[in-house]
Every structure is written in C-alpha cells, then in structure tokens.
Structure 1
Amino acid sequence: MTPNVQTAKDVIEQTKAFHKRLGSFYKELSDKVEKERVKLLLDYMSRHHDHLVAIMDEYEDSLSEHILNTWFMYVHKECDLSPFFSAELGPEMTTQEVMKVAIDLDKCLLETYEAMIQNDIPDDVSEAFQGLLDMEKRENIRLAKSALRLETL
C-alpha cells in the first residue's frame, strides 16, 4: 500500500463524490428491478445517500479553513467497488442482496475515517473525522432500521 498525502478537505470531497455515486447507482438499479420491495429499498437508499451529501456539505461548511487545509499522510487500502460491477446486481436481486452491497460499501467509508483518526494529526482534525465517523455510523443504523421495516412489509 502506498501512502496517501492529502488535505482533510480532499477526503471530505472524495467521500461526498462516493455518496453521490452510490445515490446514482441505487437509483439506476431501482429502475431495473422488478420486485416492489427491492425497488422501495433502492429508492430509499438513493435518497439516503443524497441526504448524506447534503449533511456533509453542512458539516464541511462548519469546519475551519485550518482543519480543511491540514495535510496528512495515511496508508489505506482502496475501497472495494466490485459490488458495483457484480453480475448478481440485477432485476432479480433481493433486499438482502441489496443490503449486503450497502454494508460492504459503507464499511469502506468507516475504515477510511478510522484510518484518519489513527494518524498523528492535530486534535481538532481528529475530532472532525470522529464527527464524520459518528455521523456515518448513525446513518448506517438508520438505513438498517429502514431496510428492516421494508423487509417486514
């Protein structure tokens, strides 16, 4: 693994782009699936990721320039985006298969934030990434609860 040198703002922007891509991905998949319950879940997940982008915009606006412009180096494996290209993602997929993809992709974001926090970085920058980590965890719980409600419809 090669070290990555970037600013806190770079990481936030990449994460927002990741959420935007997931939102579009789930919307496109929703247009292809046939099962109503799966379609509802995918539509919800698309809106969920659009909402996360808006939350991250607000969070980024609340951070100081000092935090956003802090440079640091970390070593982290690339996110596994293979679920995007999996042959199993198609019109016949189940809600469980959708949730497995969502969990795998969200795990990548959590690992990224945790890697940031493990670095020797100023406390205020560490706190900013801890805030993002906590937000992602809360949103994952909300998503799981909503998915479970859909599953029991």
Structure 2
Amino acid sequence: MKSETFDDLIKWNAGIHEMLADRMRKGADHNSDERAKSLLIYLAGHEQTLAEEVCKFGNRADDRALNTWVSEHVSEELLPKNGRKIDFDSGDYEQISKEVVDIHNQIMDLYYAMVERAAIPEAKDVMQELYDLHKHEMLRLSDQINNGRSL
C-alpha cells in the first residue's frame, strides 16, 4: 500500500492492527500449540485495542496534519512488505513473539521517520503521539510476552 497523506497513514496503521487481530484470532483457532494459542488470544485483544486507539488519533488530529502529503516521505510500500505472509496458524510461542515484535518495530520505525520529516508542526505532533503510543504498547507487549515465557 502507498500512503499519500498522514490521514492515509493513520488509516493504514489502524487497518494493520485490525488485520493482525483478525489473523491472530483465526490462528488461535488453528494453532495446536496451547501456549501459542493463549498468546494469540491475548495478542488479538491487544491489536484490536491498538487499532481503536490509532483511530481515535485520526478522529481528533488537526485537519492540517491529516491532509499533509507524505508521499515524498514514504517512498516505499508499507507493511506487509515484499509479499510477506502474515499467518499465525502455525508456529510456536517464540516464533509468533518474534514476528509480532518485528512488525511493531517496523511500524515504530516508520513513525519515528515521520516525526523527523513532518513538514508542519501539527503533523509532527500527531506522528510523535503515535510513535509514543506504539513505543509504550511495545514495552507492555514485551513484558507480557516475557511473563508468558515463565509459565
């Protein structure tokens, strides 16, 4: 997907979290590893909540920020990249954890780059808030994944 405005970027991000939540729910139904199932159920709820939070940012953000063009800032395709298949029907706890952390790190890297490149202060503020949200959620997610390892 190509993103043309910051609004597109926010909608793409909410959509990625919704897609992840859906695939995690389906993966929990098909995965035979009980620890992986439990992780996927937790992650699906986490992703759905994150999708809703990202949408809230879009709803309350300044129109100038939302309508700012990003095509000159985002020159590559957004996730999933290179035909990457995001599937949670198989894989153990560690494989799923690694995949989820990798996806979230890519999203955070994108927002970090957008903070640095935003053309107007309003857009920079929105991208900083979204970066901070994802960073906080990544820390929380990492804690939960590590806690699950000890079970």
Match among 65, 83, 86 for residue 84 of structure 1: 86
The residue that corresponds to 2:136 in the other structure is 138
Q: Which stretch shows the higher mean deviation, 22-31 or 119-128? A: 119-128
Matched, 1:25 2:27: no
Shift of 1:120: 4.8
Q: Would the alpha carbon gap of residues 94 and 59 (structure 1) be closer, same or farther in structure 2, given more than 3 Å must change? A: same
AA in 2 matched with 1:77: E
Shift of 1:66: 1.8
CA distance in 1, matches of 2:38, 2:6: 35
Moved >4 Å (runs of 4+):
none
8 Å CA contact retained: 1:8, 1:67: yes
AA in 2 matched with 1:112: L
Q: Deviations over 1:49-92 (max 9, x none)?
A: 1000111122222212222112232144333362515xxx544x
Match among 54, 57, 63 for residue 56 of structure 1: 54
What TM-score do the two structures reach when normalised by structure 1? Answer: 0.86
Structure 1 spans left out of the alignment, 5+ residues: none
Q: Aligned residues: percent identity? A: 23
AA in 1 matched with 2:73: Y
CA distance in 2, matches of 1:144, 1:83: 22
What TM-score do the two structures reach when normalised by structure 2? Answer: 0.87
AA in 2 matched with 1:70: T
Higher strand share: 1
Structure 2 spans left out of the alignment, 5+ residues: none
CA distance in 2, matches of 1:5, 1:107: 19
